[in-house]
Amino acid sequence: MAVSVRLPDSIRARLPYLLSRAYQRQLVLFAEHTRELDVSGREYAVMLLLEAHERLWQSQIAEALGLDRTTVTYLVDAMEKRGLAARQRDPADRRAHVIALTAAGTALLAELAPAVRAARDELLAPLSEPEQEQLRDLLIRLNQEPV
Amino acid sequence: MAVSVRLPDSIRARLPYLLSRAYQRQLVLFAEHTRELDVSGREYAVMLLLEAHERLWQSQIAEALGLDRTTVTYLVDAMEKRGLAARQRDPADRRAHVIALTAAGTALLAELAPAVRAARDELLAPLSEPEQEQLRDLLIRLNQEPV
DNA sequence: TATTGTTATACTCTATAACTATA
DNA sequence: TATAGTTATAGAGTATAACAATA
């Protein structure tokens, strides 16, 4: 193999590069720490959403998480097949499916918590506690949509 | 449509969510600001790399940017077809292709600079200048691989 | 006529493996 | 035997459109 090439500062110090690196690393760490529980980041997001709201239409899940309706159909298919979520027709509007976590889903969510914490801690390890807080605050403000 | 659902803090304040939001937003802003120049983020990265190093093997590009060899082949194919980069056999090792920016490639890189700056400024607009520096520093430290 | 959810299709990215030419 | 690059293929993920049921 030829001599390795140093990544120039014109890339290394760029925000897009830094963000994509941090994001990729987060994906890898989440996957590593939750491997034996076999849950995608998206499924985890759905579970957190259902933990907070308990009963939601698929369309509400799609809107809240910024997903396509069809994507949610596939997601819920998989979660239902694994017994993590249950689908019911909404008697009040028979077009809609109401989704809720099952007991198994709630249990898995509890199992996931320490793994997710460990992944986050590993990601943030290079920073001190106050710096971690600072980073979170800055990212929250960065993501604030202009009103 | 049913009532909109508020994204719970269990998601909204999570680092993975914040990172992915910031990353997605960055992708959108780059695409918007460079639309008429028709360059992918990856092509831009290759151009910055070639600006810093001038002549590189495809394998060196792949290694520096963390891409697959095949991906680089396709990338360089496209850039060569547009006249942005030139491929030459390396006389010193005839297995290898040496890639360099053409004059058109250098010119496009110059055209891209203000668009990229505008995208970055829009992304960072919610933060003050010192905060922007702080964010960059924290992300650099976050991405430091343990030695 | 619009909305909810499903299904089929296609399209982009990515990963893998097989191949050539050179070393 | 290993490396540089190419090509073909398959897979995941995503987007689009057409459709049935219901409002």
| pLDDT (0 to 100) of residue A2 | 81
Q: Band of the pLDDT at A130, cuts 50, 70, 90?
A: very high
What is the pLDDT at residue A125? Answer: 96
Placement of tokens 């909204």 in the chain: B12
Nucleotide of closest approach to A77 (CA, C1')? C6
| Interface contact A26-B7, CB threshold 8 A | no
pLDDT of residue B144: 81
Q: What are A39-59's pLDDT values in tens digits?
A: 999 999 999 999 999 999 999
Residues 101-130 (B) with a CB less than 8 A from some CB of A: 120, 123-124, 126-127
What's the pLDDT score for residue B73? Answer: 97
**Segment (H or E) for A99:** strand A93-101
Q: How confident is the model at residue A145 (pLDDT cuts 50, 70, 90)?
A: low
Residues 16-55 of B with CB under 8 A from A: 16-23, 25-26, 30, 41, 45, 48-49, 51-53
| Distance, CA of A93 to C1' of C6, in Å | 17
> What's A14's DSSP letter?
-
Q: Which CATH class is domain B37-112?
A: mainly alpha
- pLDDT tens profile B103-133: 999 999 999 999 999 999 999 999 999 999 9
Query: What's this model's pTM, rounded to 2 decimal places?
Result: 0.92
